Structure 1
Amino acid sequence: MNELYKSFISRCNVYQHKVDSLRISRPSMDEWTFNRLTEGLMSDIWQHWCHFCRKLIHNSCRGSICLDRKIVSPRLISLDNSWERLGYEAKRRNQHKTINGHHSFLVRNEPTWGDIDNIVDIIIALDPTNKNQLLSAFGMSLKDINHLQLARNAAAHKNVETMSNLSHDMILYYNFTQLKNPSDLAWSIRQGTTSLAFYVWIYQMKTIAYHAVRTC
């Protein structure tokens, strides 16, 4: 857990620096370039978060040493903790389907590990020994990370409907008037704060990660 956490935080700090650099460089860029770079950065941050959540759950199920040096025991020795089995169990539980075999399970069929709502169900289903700590970490009402997911998905499937839905869903949370592009959301101010969405998303990821890799 210690190495996983350090690597995650280090990468988050790199992304935060990239956000700073892109924001400063904005006046010198044309709109198309700025939007494409923003979308790429949103996608990278989201993928990094999903990778962290996946590794966190895998390590928890297989047993690991937490950031506070306490040991998390693996799931029952009779249970299969291979990535195939864990991905299969998580996906089937997420779909409310019966669990059988997993030998033909493919990584592309795994659930969306970074989705805050999904991962709570996944933790309950897989039942690692540090389940309560994980549920506490992911249940802290820090759900703006899912806003990044929505913006990133909208950027991958741009059309009138996705932009209308994104604007409608996010208008209560951010200070924009109208979103022309999904990337606009990342540069909007979070309501009730003075922080850009980018910074809020990264902060919430780091906060959840810190509590998730501990035992208390």
Structure 2
Amino acid sequence: MKEVIGKLGILPLASLLPEHPSVTGLTLDENWHSDTELDPWSWRARFPGEGVAAYGKFIRKKAVLVSSEWFPAYTAAAGSQLSLEERYDSGLCSREALTLLQIIRDNQGIETRELRTLADMKAKEKKTAFDNAVTELQGTLDIVISGVKERHNAAGEKNGWNSTSFETVSHWMADYKIPAFKGTREEAVTWLRSRMEQEWHPGAVKWLGKVLSW
């Protein structure tokens, strides 16, 4: 799977781009949630943790893996050139997204429960707003899902579902010594298109260009 991600650059977890592979399409159903080396569900934490690929809901609120080689250009091409504070002042992002990003900046690798607590969004009626804000920050390439942390009870025993953790894009890239793209947004788009056209079906290239307004 690492070879596939390296070759294709962008690989969604489930079917998303037309005529383009996905992790679910390339793996066996029985391996999912098997807690084995072959469990694709575990790779969403393993690959970011090894610096192989960034992971997050980067395209149409869907989970995607982007190789570390492609990620700088993808961030430059699909992310905003304005800071979140500038976007907030212009009415281009939610207050919840701004609050969460400020917390994540100060607590890199923070897991979901702690993030909700610090943001005062633990209440059940605030869960939807929290989920939307986290997804928003991934879609604008402000944060990535950096891993998954096990939940433990007071005795230190594993208890319940694992919890997703988050960090900023810049922090994740710095951790794995991935340099930022040197060039304009247009140059980043050109770089990505040239790579896509070598490996992707034309329909997938066209679809992504339309979705991201390239």
Greater Rg, structure 1 or structure 2?
1
Q: Which has the higher strand share?
A: 2
Q: Which has the higher helix share?
A: 1
TM normalised by structure 2 equals 0.27
TM normalised by structure 1 equals 0.26
